[in-house]
Amino acid sequence: MADLSEPEGTVNWKERCLTLESQLMKFRLQASKIRELLAEKVGLMVQVMEEKLKAANVQTSESENRLYKRCQDLEILIQDKNDIIQKLEQQLEEQKQIRLQEAKLIEEKAAKIKEWVTVKLHEKATQISNSPFIDESSGSEEEDSSRSSSRTSESDSRSRSGPNSPRAMKRGVSLSSMTSESDYAIPPDAYSVDTDYSEPEQKLPKTSSSSTDNGKNEPLEKSGYLLKMGGKVKTWKRRWFVLKGGELLYYKSPSDVIRKPQGQIELNASSHIERGDGKQTIQLTTEKRTYYLTADSPNILEEWIKVLQNVLKIQAASPLFIQPEIKPTMKGLLTKVKHGYSKRVWCTLVGKILYYFRNQEDKVGPLLVSSAKVEEVDRSCDSDEDYEASGRSLLSTHYTVVIHPKDQGPTYLLIGSKHEKDTWLYHLTVAAGSTNVNVGSEFEQLICKLLNMEGDTTSQIWRHPTLCHSKEGIASPLTTLPSEALQTEAIKLFKTCQLFINAAVDSPAIDYHVSLAQSALQICLTHPELQNEICCQLIKQTRRRHPQNQTGPIQGLQLLALCVGLFLPQHPFLWLLKLHLKKNADSRTEFGKYAIYCQRCVERTQQNGDREARPSRMEILSTLLRNPYHHSLPFSIPVHFMNGIYQVVGFDASTTVEEFLNTLNQDTGMRKPAQSGFALFSDDPSGKDIEHCLQGNIKICDIISKWEQASKEQHPGKCEGTRTVRLTYKNRLYFSVQVHGETDREKLLLVYQTNDQIVNGLFPVNKELAMELTALLAQVEIGDFERPFSTPAGQVTSQSKSNQTLKQVLERFYPKRYRHGCSEEQLRQLCQRLSTRWMALRGHSAADCVRIYLTVARKWSFFGAKLFAAKPLATSSLEKSFIWFAVHEDGISILDYSTMRLTVTYTYKSLMTFGGYQDDFMLVVNDAQIKDKATEKLLFAMTKPKILEITLLIASYINNFHQQKGAAHHLSAPALLTPQSGQKLKEMGSQTLLTNNRPTKCPTLL
């Protein structure tokens, strides 16, 4: 292995080849130039010699001989140059061949080493399975496990569990303890394809690194022909299947993969595969249906089974980590009992899978609840006495729920309270797909009956008083809740909903409705267990027992619209909600229009996930005062630009910043943020001059709501109804490679943003250049300068108007440091100079002025960089009072505070770490050129908002740098890299080249 590890000091052959190619090109160019120069020189010499011969009356034969000899010498010289070029080409070709041979040798060695490691691991696993660790004396080491009084003999324990449990490998415990632990901690990747066995034959220890390493190399994609059993007509059809991204797509032929697939099979944690009756058939079961697939040969089938199993392992690993947006149905600390052994575990029910955790982060095993038998038992006779005897202080009146999956032993969950037991029992029963209607509350039992009847509209259950509107309050919650406190809160929640529905919506009471809606929905966000409850309450209160006579209250649907814009209930309440909205959707009535809008909100929330904050005042007022059915984007907000204008953009309750910017870019004719480098910023609710960059996955409504709440907290007692967040769209990341694709709007906004830097002293210009740029912006903003009228009547008025315009232009576009402290006479001179330069631009279009402005501004090496003022601390090697940080696409540069000249540049490759350190900003850089002090820690005093801003900006540039590096890595041929891009890569990897590329210069662009 040591032979394969390449030392850091070795030559980068790819870069070396590029260098040799560039030298070869230079030699060729020099040779061609030499030929041209020689030809010109020979021609001149011939003319001169002919003239001299004529003047001196000398024989031409002698001059011709000399010229001929000179030409021969030049030809010999050219031939020598060509020979040198050919030798260089041969050397380059030889180097390429050597590199290819070395690469092949390395690949062969790596394959041999991989094979050797695999054989060794297999031998180790065989040794472990043949000789387990047996140590009866260490069986009491685990404090959390206890033995049952009805425990079977040691031989029975051996027969139930294999000897290679993780705890046996890790500590060396008794065989009986191994049985309990191995059943408790089966890793997700240990499941066998054959479902006849509940446990695998061999289990790797959880502490082994080989299990994770091998999992990374397992194939997760495959394509090929399979026979698929048809749907309506039960016939076998040959289809081309493609497994990619956790989905199994099938087409008619391989050539159709560029088209829409004929079908799609979604693989998730609840999917599983079994072998069919035939040797070449498998049965793939998903949540929706079961598929029968047949391969052409048993070997091909084994390949498909292996890849499908790998995908299902990853899907079953934990959707909590793979898909963080998935919301667990239930979670809590329970006691799990199986095979007579108990363990205190953190349980999480996600979909149809129950996950066990040692704590809230360390997952140890899943249990598929689907199709399992779930019921309540009086006590757990397997472990009750021993568990209490172990001193765990479990109540003798505990409640027990048993889960009995098919072909597996039962698992008991010991729960401490009746409310919690009822909740777990109901949700586990629903996850198991049971038709048992005797669990849960009366409301939940009625839903289960309707679900069994597939929502039959003629059923009398729909008219049950529990499912319909009631004027009185409820005595108990509609859903099963895990605690008495939540039950009390649910009853209060129903009263709040009644107040919202019954109070008339008018101007004096509108803030009352805002307060009611915000308080009710905030409680549901704080206690997610109440989200099902409020949805069921609103469904109940918007249903009439006789819907043909009257519809439900519109205000109930308005509150439901606000609710489903934040979160959705879980199954089967979501099924009831969709059925309820579908039944009431009608574009001819106001109530039906709100039902249609609720359907849109449900679809959008399913698409983008739940919200984080309660609805804002603006969102509630927009929903109450106008029917959002009439607008695909019911809400709108202005977005401000650097040139002083704004664009009103529409959005809905689930619109993310990314979707919001897509709409904005389409309306304004701009590119995507990844290309333009523009980003959306919000102001600070405190009123300070601070801006916050908004990430693409955040929802616009959450931004408005959080800003509103923060503003109320920081300004208590003030009327904040008119204050709202201010959004600004401006450039954040500048990429020189994207300059050629800039749109006219982007160029215009870049000009105004650059001018804002100039005005605030963040861009180096002298007075003359500042005046030229001010005149250009005046021409862009206003147009041609109007001279004062020469008539006596209007001379005074026009002169005053012109002076006022000139002063406004200077105020907006001229640097503050040059205007500060100017007398009236000096201001008059500035206005005169500005008018002269402005009049010189008469007739120039705005596009021409923008082009000229950017051409001049881009002469500064740090154009597009974001500047931050900082003070180096005493520990830093920079002995200055203040410096400028310039963060750009190539790295971080430190500029002199007064002259803005370059001091030093650190490429992102040389950064070891960066960010806030206590109350300061820290940079840890690694300079390979300094042998004595390669790693240096730099500390700078900055304000906390600026520390956060510069840290996030550096992180964004580094992420973009790695994305570009990854894209370049996929280019297989070096010839695909242009000389410019190759030079760019060199600059990114070399601090010396970068520093030379940004020479120190005077702080002016003239």
**pLDDT (tens digit, 9 = 90+) per residue, 183-238?**
333 333 333 333 333 333 333 333 233 333 333 446 677 889 998 876 655 678 88
Q: What is the DSSP string of 741-771?
A: G--HHHHHHHHHHHHHHHHTT-S---HHHHH
Helix (H) or strand (E) holding 600: helix 590-608
Whose structure tokens read 């005074």?
796
From CA 378, how far away is CA 865, in angstroms rounded?
A: 70
| Mean of pLDDT over the chain | 77
Most confident option among 92-96, 104-108, 853-857? 853-857
Q: In CATH, what class is 330-431?
A: mainly beta
Q: Between vectors from CA 49 to CA 47 and to CA 51, what angle results, nearest 5°?
A: 70
Which of 803, 816, 838 lies closest to 767 in space, CA to CA?
816
Domain 218-317, what fold? PH-domain like (2.30.29)
Whose structure tokens read 């992180």?
955
Positive or negative: CA dihedral 514, 517, 518, 519: positive
Domain 866-997, what fold? PH-domain like (2.30.29)
Q: Is pLDDT above 60 for 419?
A: yes
Identify the band that residue 508 occupies on the pLDDT scale cut at 50, 70 and 90: confident
Q: Is pLDDT above 60 for 170?
A: no
Q: Which long-range contacts (CB under 8 A, 24 or more apart) does 640-647 make?
A: 640/726, 640/727, 640/728, 640/729, 641/728, 641/729, 641/730, 641/749, 641/752, 642/728, 642/730, 642/749, 642/752, 642/753, 642/756, 643/748, 643/749, 643/752, 643/781, 644/752
Beta-bridged to residue 346, according to DSSP, are: 333, 357
802-841, pLDDT tens digit by residue?
A: 888 888 899 999 999 888 888 888 888 989 899 999 999 9
Average pLDDT over residues 380-398: 45
Q: Both tokens of residue 192?
A: 């066998």
**Can you tell me whether residue 795 is helix, strand or coil?**
helix
Q: What is the DSSP string of 534-581?
A: HHHHHHHHT--SSTTT-PPPHHHHHHHHHHHTT--PPTTHHHHHHHHH
From CA 555, how far away is CA 721, in angstroms rounded?
A: 22
- Sheet of 363-368, strands arranged across: 363-368, 353-357, 341-350, 330-338, 411-415, 399-404, 373-377
Identify the band that residue 905 occupies on the pLDDT scale cut at 50, 70 and 90: very high
Whether 741-857 and 866-997 share one fold: the answer is no
Identify the band that residue 172 occupies on the pLDDT scale cut at 50, 70 and 90: very low
User: What radius of gyration, in Å, describes the C-alpha atoms of the chain?
Assistant: 38
Task: Kindly list the distances between the CA atom of residue 164 and the CA atoms of 186, 202, 320, in Å, as whole numbers in the listed order.
Answer: 11, 7, 28
Neighbours of 781 (CB within 10 A): 16
From CA 923, how far away is CA 916, in angstroms rounded?
A: 9
Q: Which pLDDT does position 54 carry in this prediction?
A: 74
Q: Which pLDDT does position 747 carry in this prediction?
A: 94
Phi/psi of residue 205, each to 5°?
A: -65, 150
Give percent of the chain with pLDDT exceeding 70: 74
Identify the band that residue 488 occupies on the pLDDT scale cut at 50, 70 and 90: very high
From CA 319, how far away is CA 328, in angstroms rounded?
A: 10
Q: Is pLDDT above 60 for 133?
A: no
Identify the band that residue 268 occupies on the pLDDT scale cut at 50, 70 and 90: confident
Q: Which residue has the higher pLDDT, 141 or 18?
A: 18
Identify the band that residue 881 occupies on the pLDDT scale cut at 50, 70 and 90: confident
Which of 729, 733, 735, 764 lies closest to 749 in space, CA to CA?
729
* Residue pair 764/1005 in contact by the 8 Å Cβ criterion: yes
Q: Which residue has the higher pLDDT, 193 or 684?
A: 684
Is 635-732 assigned to CATH 3.10.20.90? yes
From CA 865, how far away is CA 887, in angstroms rounded?
A: 5
Give percent of the chain with pLDDT exceeding 90: 28
* Residue pair 181/421 in contact by the 8 Å Cβ criterion: no
299-321, pLDDT tens digit by residue?
A: 898 889 888 887 777 666 555 54
- Which pTM does this prediction carry? 0.63
Q: Which of 26-35, 289-298, 493-502, 959-968 has the lowest mean pLDDT?
A: 959-968
Q: Which pLDDT does position 378 carry in this prediction?
A: 66
Q: Which pLDDT does position 788 carry in this prediction?
A: 63
Say if residue 572 is preceded by a cis peptide, omega within 30 of 0: yes
* Residue pair 354/369 in contact by the 8 Å Cβ criterion: yes
Chain centroid to Cα 435, Å, comes to 40
CB environment 275-298: b (16+ within 10 A), e (fewer): bbeeebbbbbeeeeeebbbbbeee
Identify the band that residue 801 occupies on the pLDDT scale cut at 50, 70 and 90: confident
Identify the band that residue 887 occupies on the pLDDT scale cut at 50, 70 and 90: very high
Q: Where do the domains of the chain lie?
A: 13-129, 218-317, 330-431, 443-628, 635-732, 741-857, 866-997
Beta-bridged to residue 920, according to DSSP, are: 917
Q: Which residue has the higher pLDDT, 850 or 388?
A: 850
Q: Which pLDDT does position 854 carry in this prediction?
A: 94
Beta-bridged to residue 728, according to DSSP, are: 640, 681
Q: Which pLDDT does position 9 carry in this prediction?
A: 54
Q: Which pLDDT does position 1 carry in this prediction?
A: 45
Whose structure tokens read 């205000």?
555
Q: Which of 573-582, 680-689, 707-716 has the lowest mean pLDDT?
A: 707-716
Domain 741-857, what fold? Acyl-CoA Binding Protein (1.20.80)
Architecture category of domain 443-628 in CATH: Alpha Horseshoe (1.25)
